[in-house]
Chains A and B, each alone.
Chain A
Amino acid sequence: MNAEIIKRKLAEYYNQVTPEQVVAEFEALGVEFVEILEFSEIQFDLALPLSPEFNNGFESWAEDFLVKDQMAPITSDAPKFFPSEGAGNTQYAMAA
């Protein structure tokens, strides 16, 4: 697989297609649609609040589960586990 080439072709498509065209293309593939009465853009944003608040039960469980001294906040030169995710995530890297 050459992922970069496929991604480039898809990016070109994403940049020029309209929602109407996407619907028409799927109709051409035989897909039927149902109407959604009220549209609301749902943000599937992976970003978590910087200081998530857990209930006490979870914090207690997390205390037992996580080995805190092996985790350190990401710094600019540390490897990221999820480099593609956007800003705002709580990210951690293993301490050296």
Chain B
Amino acid sequence: MKEDVSISHLRGWHGTEEKDAEEILKVNFEESLGDTHWLGNGVYFFTTGVGAPLSHALNWAKSEANKRKITRYAILNAEICVNKECILDLIENAGLDIFNEHREFVLRQIRLQKKAFKIPNEEYSDSKVIEHLKQKGGVEVVVCNMYVRFLKDRIEKIRSQIPNCTFLCVSNPSENITPDTITIVARGNI
């Protein structure tokens, strides 16, 4: 069978609580919605790029477990199949240009209405611009190198602007994540 070259097959690793992982195996991932997501609403995966995604997912699960008082973690692996024209790659300069041009455009329109964003944490204003860009540009997957503050950095009060991992943010998981490919690749006690 001829491979469809318009489709990208991406691999992602997702660290979570074990009981949530078991549920995901049954019903697929669900979009995480909220105001404080780095790349807008979606399912977040570590992927190949900066550092080791499996390790990052494990670190993430343990870091969040510390906050949420959970005792068992699991790491899920899944294949994301998405049309290339629906991927916004913020690792490439072309993707960053698209984002920055869109931000300039929308902020200018908002200024014309004599308004400005009122967002308690300015860090997350990008999230809303990306969410808007996804809707208007037909984007379903965003790829981005980011700095994530894992538990060790939180304890040592370290912050950085240099990316330490690569993320995929996947919208519309029922369409873009193949349920058969979701597996638990690691689990254990925190």
Chain A, range 27-44, C-beta contacts under 8 Å to B: 29-37, 39, 41-42, 44
Residue of A nearest to B142 (CB): A1
Residue of B nearest to A6 (CB): B137
Whether a CB of chain A sits under 8 angstroms from the CB of B88 is: yes
Whether a CB of chain B sits under 8 angstroms from the CB of A61 is: no
Please tell me if the beta carbons of A22 and B109 are within 8 angstroms of each other in the complex. Answer: yes
Whether a CB of chain A sits under 8 angstroms from the CB of B162 is: no
Residues of B within 8 A of A39 (CB): 111-112, 114
Please tell me if the beta carbons of B85 and A36 are within 8 angstroms of each other in the complex. Answer: no
Whether a CB of chain A sits under 8 angstroms from the CB of B98 is: yes
The size class of the interface chain B forms with chain A is 35 or more
Return the contact of B95 from the options A3, A17, A29, A35 (Cβ within 8 A): A3
Give complex CA distance A41, B132 in Å: 23
Contact with A along B130-160 (1 / 0, CB 8 A): 0111011111000100000000000000000
Chain B, range 60-110, C-beta contacts under 8 Å to A: 84-85, 87-89, 92, 94-95, 97-98, 101-102, 104-106, 109-110
